[in-house]
Homo-oligomer: A and B are copies of this chain.
């Protein structure tokens, strides 16, 4: 509850994201926390278990830079563009290092987060019938209904060491508003031991609907102001999705050398401040 949770992003990553940690970066196409991922790459974190329903460009970049030992996910594509070439290179060719993947369907992954958020060790759901994934993921088992005897799927809870999300805004007490496509951010935050949030801005009053998705300050460990921090994804009400950047990634990521050069220029040699220059928001003078 103290004001000290407001801190620069590099300090938050240094304090909460440790080598070997399991780290959920959530945001379902919307509000993807790219600035926090880039800072993690710059700080050369290694051995991470990366947790995210849709690995997307953000994990393609982290995997390609050698941050990850394991990836938990449920859909690994560049949405509407193609496959994730760096993640494929790691899975198919162990470059830059071998990674273990632990894979769910979306429904299963969502339920695993719900279990984690709810303080339960597992969640029961209606799925995984007749398909191959349960053969390869030890976090999928079955449970029998104690009333009717029906057999249902059970998934192990996901409780990351750290959840990292990007949100529209925080108030001065560190309460955070997420709105629009809210994905699984609330569940990831409730499931995690620690939470780092980047926001577009700090405001006097969150000024939202009484039933909006608000994460209270006392659940959050660090709140970092990083305008544009979701680029090239988007922040509803602030700036749109940079679809061109998603398309360009397909060729940038096609080749290891091109990838590394791009990462040096656009990530390693930058600071979180660069994100503000990648978007334009609050165009009050239209």
Give Cα A251 to B146, complex, Å.
44
Chain A, residues 75-117, CB within 8 Å of chain B (1/0): the string is: 0000000000000000000000000000000000000000000
Q: What distance in Å separates the Cβ of A128 from its nearest Cβ neighbour in chain B?
A: 13
Q: Are A147 and B120 in contact (CB under 8 A)?
A: no
A210 touching B126 in the complex, CB below 8 Å, given contacts A120-B152, A141-B147, A147-B121: no
Q: Are B147 and A122 in contact (CB under 8 A)?
A: yes
In the bound complex, residues from chain B placing their C-beta under 8 Å from that of A142 are: 146
Give Cα A118 to B209, complex, Å.
26
Q: Say if the beta carbon of A133 comes within 8 Å of chain B.
A: no
* A120: contacting residue among B124, B144, B182, B209, CB under 8 A: B124
Q: Say if the beta carbon of A161 comes within 8 Å of chain B.
A: no
A141 touching B152 in the complex, CB below 8 Å, given contacts A119-B126, A179-B209, A179-B210: no
In the bound complex, residues from chain B placing their C-beta under 8 Å from that of A209 are: 179, 208-209, 211-212
A143 touching B146 in the complex, CB below 8 Å, given contacts A208-B209, A209-B212, A211-B179: yes
Count identical subunits in the complex: 2
Chain A residues 238-253 with CB under 8 Å of chain B are none
Q: Are B141 and A146 in contact (CB under 8 A)?
A: yes
* A125: contacting residue among B120, B150, B179, CB under 8 A: B120
Chain A, residues 192-224, CB within 8 Å of chain B (1/0): the string is: 000000000000000011111100000000000
In the bound complex, residues from chain B placing their C-beta under 8 Å from that of A123 are: 124
Q: Say if the beta carbon of A176 comes within 8 Å of chain B.
A: no
In the bound complex, residues from chain B placing their C-beta under 8 Å from that of A143 are: 143-144, 146
Q: Are A211 and B213 in contact (CB under 8 A)?
A: yes
In the bound complex, residues from chain B placing their C-beta under 8 Å from that of A119 are: 126
Chain A, residues 12-53, CB within 8 Å of chain B (1/0): the string is: 000000000000000000000000000000000000000000
Which residue on chain B has the smallest CB distance to residue A141? B146
Q: What distance in Å separates the Cβ of A85 from its nearest Cβ neighbour in chain B?
A: 34
Chain A residues 140-184 with CB under 8 Å of chain B are 141-148, 150, 152, 154, 156, 179-180, 182
Q: Are B124 and A124 in contact (CB under 8 A)?
A: yes
Q: What distance in Å separates the Cβ of A123 from its nearest Cβ neighbour in chain B?
A: 8
Q: Are A145 and B122 in contact (CB under 8 A)?
A: yes
A-B contact pairs, 14 of them (CB 8 A): A118-B125, A119-B126, A120-B126, A121-B145, A121-B147, A122-B145, A122-B147, A139-B147, A142-B146, A143-B144, A208-B209, A209-B209, A209-B212, A211-B213
- Across the A-B interface, give the 9 residue pairs with the lowest CB-CB distance, nearest first: A209-B209, A141-B146, A121-B145, A147-B156, A146-B154, A121-B148, A143-B146, A122-B145, A122-B147
